[in-house]
Structure 1
Amino acid sequence: MNYETTRNLVIRECTIALSKVNGHKVDEFITMLLQADKIFLIGVGRVKLELEAFAKRLVHLGFKACMVGDITEPAMTDKDILIVGSGSGESVVPVAIAKKAKGFGGKIIHIGSNPQSNLSPITDLMVRIPVQTKLYLKDEIASRQPMSSLFEQSLLLLCDIVAVMIMDERHIELKKLWNYHANLE
């Protein structure tokens, strides 16, 4: 395939995936973010990279947000939430961290594809992106891209959509976001 054909394939797959995300769950997600004292995020591999971008964006929006494991990570309390990014919901480290966070009374939000995962019993909210994972579940959206690329792309785009929705909710002007941007660059 040439560039144009491949570009169209990737964009089409992302559009299909995001069109299958439940908007009411996204609204609940935003409500939980707005009510949280602190927001923790955990993922592994490329999913972690997407969540790091979202954590940075949350900070730009005025939230207290950090990746689990960061050197400046504060203690979790029952006023906080943990966002777990995992397509399968079976990644060992995020599942273990979610169980520990639940033990502190934290709320758990799972953004993934598998609603029957090991995270399911402790999840307060699941935002499902029903795309192909390593489990190849029947109702997952197939992808021509390697491995879980469609999940990772959709996760990044979903988080950017959420950021815009929060900006609208809080009536944040674009120019004011620069007040939260790193300035020691």
Structure 2
Amino acid sequence: MGYTAVEQKIVKEIAATLDNIVVKDVNRLVSEIEKAERVFFVGVGRVLLSLEGIAKRLAHLGVQTVVVGQITEPAITKKDLLIVGSGSGESSFPLAIAKKAKSFEAAVAHIGSNANSSMKEYTDLFVRIPVQTKLALPGEIPSVQPMTSLFEQCLLLLGDSIALMMVEEKAIDMPSLWQYHANLE
């Protein structure tokens, strides 16, 4: 199968998935991001890579972002938000960090595929990316891609959608955002 056929399959899966994310949950997440003093992010593997991209983009919008584990990570407080990326909601490290964040009274948002995961105990907000899981939950978008590629792709695009929502809501002048871009490159 050639590039064009594969690319079209992937784009179709992404569009179907993004179209099935609950808008009110995304709006609530945007509200939580905007009211937080700082926004922390935690995930593992390729999910972490997507979250790092989201953290960077929100930083370009003036949001104070922190990726859990970075050397300059400050203490989390009740004024902060932790965003957990975990499709299954069962990954050990994100679960432990969510539990710890709750012990400091921080708000916790989970972006994942399984609303009834162990993460549910620690979260204030859940945004479902309805991709195919091994649980075969209702409303899952099937994927021809390996592993959890569709989740990671949609997570990054959800983050970019949130960033653009914030830009439009605040009528931010796009060229002014370059002041936040890395300049030691």
Q: TM-score, normalised by structure 1?
A: 0.98
Amino acid at match of 2:173: E
The residue identity in structure 1 corresponding to 2:100 is K
1:137-177 CA-partner distances (Å, limit 9, x unpaired): 34321110001000000001111000000111111111011
Q: What residue is the counterpart of 1:176 in the other structure?
A: 176
- SS of alignment partner, residue 118 of structure 2: coil
> What one-letter code is carried by the residue in structure 2 that aligns with 1:143?
S
- The residue that corresponds to 2:116 in the other structure is 116
In 2, the alpha carbon distance for the partners of 1:44 and 1:57 equals 19
Which residue does 1:95 correspond to in 2? 95
Name the Cα RMSD after superposition. 0.9
Q: What 5-or-longer segments of structure 2 have no aligned partner?
A: none
Q: Report the AA paired with residue 65 of structure 1.
A: T
Q: For 1:76-155, what aligned pairs fall within 5 Å after superposition? A: 76-155=76-155
Taking every aligned residue pair, what percent have the same amino acid on both sides? 53
Structure 1 counterpart of 2:55: 55
1:133, 1:46 → 2: CA distance? 16
What amino acid does structure 2 have at the position aligned with 1:33?
I
CA apart distance, 1:113: 0.4
In structure 1, list runs of 5 or more residues that go unmatched.
none
Task: Provide the residue aligned with 2:9 in structure 1.
Answer: 9
Separation in 2 of the partners of 1:22 and 1:136? Answer: 19
Corresponding residue number in structure 1 for 2:26: 26
For 2:145, give the aligned amino acid. Q
- Asked if structure 2 preserves the Cα contact closer than 8 Å seen for 1:88 and 1:134, the reply is no
* Letter of the structure 2 residue corresponding to residue 38 of structure 1: R
**Aligned residue pairs, count:** 185
* Structure 1 residue ranges (4+ consecutive) displaced by more than 4 angstroms after TM superposition: none
Partner-residue secondary structure (3-state), 1:119: helix
SS of the residue aligned with 1:59?
Answer: helix
Spell out, residue by residue over 1:116-136, the C-alpha distance to the aligned partner (whole angstroms, 9 max, x if none).
000112211101001013434
What is the one-letter code of the residue matched to 1:10? I
Distance 1:147 1:132 in 2: 10
